[in-house]
Chain A
Amino acid sequence: MSNSSEPKKYKNSFLNWIEFRLPIISYFQKEYGDYPMPKNCNYFWSFGALATITLVVMIVSGIFLAMNYTPHTDMAFDSVERIMRDVNYGWLLRYIHSNGAAFFFIIVYIHILRAMYYGSYKYPRELNWILGVFIYLLMMVTSFMGYVLPWGQMSYWGATVITNLFSAIPIIGEGIKTWLLGDYNVGNATLNRFFALHYVLPFVILGVVGLHVAAVHVHGSNNPAGIDIKSKNDTVRFFPYMLIKDTIATCVFGVLISAVIFFGPNLMAEVDNYIPADPLVTPAHIVPNWYLAPFYAILRAVPDKLGGVLLMFGAIAILFVLPWLDRSKVRSCNFRPIYKWFMMLFFINFFVLGYVGMLPAEGTYLLIARVGLIYYFAFFLVITPFINRIESPQTLPASISDVYLSENINNLAHSAEKETN
């Protein structure tokens, strides 16, 4: 079989045959076997793996759903209910898919917050961050289109509200809206193209995820101390050390998502979406999915329609330039005594924006949304670029293994104390 001139790296001759023609075996060995991970990485570093798993689960469950779904305004609602009732384990597929979308966003939000808190977006990982924001943007578009497919009341009216945003653009706005909808109103043409795009976009996401992972593997993962790897002593191999931690994270995630899928599958859904779409009846409150709500709050906080649309898109666009807004050389907020608290406040503020985004935009809620909007932009445009002028960061540890050792000594001292008590 194999020519004697071919190198014999592996015991298995089949692997050698493949490796000689396509070095995929050594690639996986390098990227997922020997790949060095900083050994002080905590469980926040498992959310990338969790997100990848969730993406695959979403794609697989989605393909099976698509086999049973009918993208027609007269039949979409009933075909989804048919999946729930008459397709074998169709209810499971659909509840996995609908709740999986929500959990996908929970995971990705934690993943983004981790990147922000520990400064993972800074040199040399800027492109990695940009690819990540791009994935997040694609996820929002995909989930919005997916939400339209069951053709319930919230599907229809959500699609109407969101596509109407484009008509705020002067002169060409109406034209863009009609082009997007394929009609003057949300209708069958819209449903058909949203289905087509909802099917294809996850594969685009998968592609960008591939780039995102490849990019992080170039300079290696960041870590809670935010300092570079200096020696082999600072790292552990991905296999088995990180893989086993990711597996634990997956099990915890599995318990949480199972609790929702099996015991409260509609807790995160809007009841109105179990009413078939009716263009003649507007729901009392049109609410977006909770994971898009922070941006919806920003949109409604501005009295002017075009201004609201611009700020909403600006709120996402500003994420792309975050690596250049932050002037501090220190990555991890653990060593930034002032910025750390602004960062925490940013997380809380984002959550509050999401909460008021689900409520009617009036009275106190509107006021809260406006304050939240101001802080959101102030954080990026004022606090992040200028804080390092007044903040003096703590001295960084000499190496990762130093941090790791001192943490363990602390832990040991703690447990020893407990035992003596």
Chain B
Amino acid sequence: MKILFFLVTFLISGSLLAAESSNKNMPKHEWSFKGITGTFDKAALQRGYKVYREVCEGCHSMKLLYYRDLMDIGFSEAEVKAIASEYTVLDGPNDEGEMFERSARPADRFVSSYANENEARASNNGAYPPDLSVITKARKHGEDYIYNLLIGYEEPPENIEVGDGMYYNKWMDGNQIAMPQPIYDESVDYDDGTDNNEKQIAKDVVAFLKWSAEPELEVRKNLGIKAILFFLVLGTVVYLAKNRLWRRVH
């Protein structure tokens, strides 16, 4: 039986290890959504959305989100309507067969700044700013990596030549990134009086991106505790019954 236990742990841990092998010592940070009972801090998510709107949105799309999704992070229906109406979408064709522009509604997806990838590349020195909808799931070390990247801009060491239109970043693969430093102290004004230093701004926007990538996180963890408890209780009862049943065989 011991062999079995070791084998199972061995296989599972091995497969997790293989998927999780890390290359650098990526600094880890405290997040409210970490751990078994982790939850999102809605105030932080709302601040993070403000950062996205004022800093990231100029270049990065979030095509998988709808404006209505913002109600999940505490915006009221009226607020979401107001936010959506600031954007313009192309709709149609109408009864005359014409395409027309109208202001966005909560049921519309987040409007991208660029019409397509080519326009995005043309405006960004040939680099394509990735869509941010699931970015924390699409990078190793997820939220920790994105956070480190946002505050990881430095003067390049003397022996490194940074390419034209590129910037030096500690955490980027190859240390060169096409995105200029996006966040500085006080680059976003917070309405709720939270200290708007560089780290706080980065932290809030990363929390928002985490929510965008895993909006089901709170429901999932909640259901997970119930599922595990179910199997534990059922398992214990069946185990006791088994001992009793097998006593007759012995």
Interface residues of A (CB under 8 A from B): 39, 42-44, 78, 81-82, 84-85, 91-92, 95, 102, 106, 109-110, 113, 236, 240-241, 244-245, 247-248, 251-252, 254-256, 258-272, 274-275, 284, 290-291, 293, 347, 351, 354-355, 358-359, 408
Chain B residues near A81 (CB, 8 Å)? 64, 133-134
The 17 listed contacts between A and B (C-beta, < 8 Å) are A81-B133, A81-B134, A85-B64, A85-B69, A95-B220, A106-B12, A248-B239, A259-B228, A262-B220, A263-B36, A268-B19, A271-B142, A275-B138, A284-B173, A290-B15, A291-B15, A347-B7
Cβ contact of A110, chosen from B7, B228, B245, cutoff 8 A? B7
Interface mask (B6-48 → A, CB under 8 Å = 1, otherwise 0): 0110111011101111000000000000001000000000000
Asked if residues A84 and B245 are in contact (CB atoms below 8 Å), the reply is no
B residues contacting the other copy or chain, number (CB 8 A):
50
Chain A residues near B8 (CB, 8 Å)? 106, 110, 256
Cβ contact of A290, chosen from B18, B223, B227, B232, cutoff 8 A? B18
Q: Which residue of B lies closest to A152 (CB)?
A: B138
Asked if residues A44 and B12 are in contact (CB atoms below 8 Å), the reply is no
Q: Which residue of B lies closest to A102 (CB)?
A: B15
Asked if residues A91 and B220 are in contact (CB atoms below 8 Å), the reply is yes
Q: Which residue of A lies closest to B36 (CB)?
A: A263
Chain B residues near A254 (CB, 8 Å)? 227-228, 230-231, 235
Asked if residues A262 and B224 are in contact (CB atoms below 8 Å), the reply is yes
Q: Using A95-B220, A275-B130 as known contacts, list a sample of 9 further A-B pairs with CB atoms less than 8 Å apart, ordered by residue number in A.
A: A43-B4, A82-B64, A106-B12, A251-B231, A262-B220, A262-B224, A271-B142, A272-B138, A351-B14
Chain A residues near B19 (CB, 8 Å)? 267-270, 290, 358
Quick check: is B139 within 8 A (CB to CB) of the other chain? Answer: yes
Asked if residues A293 and B18 are in contact (CB atoms below 8 Å), the reply is yes
Chain B residues near A241 (CB, 8 Å)? 245-246, 249
Q: Which residue of B lies closest to A255 (CB)?
A: B231
Interface residues of B (CB under 8 A from A): 1, 4, 7-8, 10-12, 14-16, 18-21, 36, 63-64, 69, 130, 133-134, 137-140, 142, 173, 213, 215-216, 220-221, 223-225, 227-228, 230-232, 234-235, 238-239, 241-242, 245-246, 249-250
Would you give the shortest CB distance from B117 to chain A, in whole angstroms? 10
Chain A residues near B63 (CB, 8 Å)? 78
Would you give the shortest CB distance from B124 to chain A, in whole angstroms? 16
Chain A residues near B138 (CB, 8 Å)? 271-272, 274-275
Please, how many angstroms separate the alpha-carbon atoms of A141 and B221 in the complex? Answer: 32
Evaluate whether A44 and B16 lie within 8 angstroms (CB atoms) in the complex, with A245-B242, A254-B231, A266-B137 already known: no
Chain A residues near B213 (CB, 8 Å)? 274
Please, how many angstroms separate the alpha-carbon atoms of A221 and B155 in the complex? Answer: 69
Please, how many angstroms separate the alpha-carbon atoms of A270 and B142 in the complex? Answer: 12
Would you give the shortest CB distance from A25 to chain B, in whole angstroms? 24
Q: Closest 3 A-B residue pairs measured CB to CB?
A: A262-B224, A251-B235, A254-B231
Please, how many angstroms separate the alpha-carbon atoms of A265 and B244 in the complex? Answer: 37
Would you give the shortest CB distance from B218 to chain A, in whole angstroms? 11
Asked if residues A251 and B10 are in contact (CB atoms below 8 Å), the reply is no
Q: Which residue of B lies closest to A85 (CB)?
A: B215
Asked if residues A263 and B231 are in contact (CB atoms below 8 Å), the reply is no
Cβ contact of A106, chosen from B15, B139, B220, B234, cutoff 8 A? B15
Cβ contact of B216, chosen from A91, A266, A275, cutoff 8 A? A91
Asked if residues B16 and A244 are in contact (CB atoms below 8 Å), the reply is no
Asked if residues A92 and B223 are in contact (CB atoms below 8 Å), the reply is yes
Chain B residues near A85 (CB, 8 Å)? 64, 69, 215-216
Chain B residues near A82 (CB, 8 Å)? 64
Would you give the shortest CB distance from A91 to chain B, in whole angstroms? 4
Task: With a 10 A CB-CB cut-off, give which of A251, A270, A284 has the most chain B CB atoms.
Answer: A251
Task: With a 10 A CB-CB cut-off, give which of A43, A113, A248, A408 has the most chain B CB atoms.
Answer: A248
Evaluate whether A271 and B137 lie within 8 angstroms (CB atoms) in the complex, with A42-B4, A110-B11, A254-B227 already known: yes
Evaluate whether A78 and B18 lie within 8 angstroms (CB atoms) in the complex, with A248-B239, A266-B137 already known: no
Would you give the shortest CB distance from B231 to chain A, in whole angstroms? 4
Please, how many angstroms separate the alpha-carbon atoms of A354 and B213 in the complex? Answer: 30
Chain A residues near B36 (CB, 8 Å)? 263
Evaluate whether A258 and B227 lie within 8 angstroms (CB atoms) in the complex, with A247-B238, A266-B137, A271-B138 already known: yes
Asked if residues A263 and B224 are in contact (CB atoms below 8 Å), the reply is yes
Chain A residues near B250 (CB, 8 Å)? 408
Asked if residues B11 and A262 are in contact (CB atoms below 8 Å), the reply is no
Please, how many angstroms separate the alpha-carbon atoms of A287 and B173 in the complex? Answer: 18
Cβ contact of A251, chosen from B12, B221, B223, B238, cutoff 8 A? B238
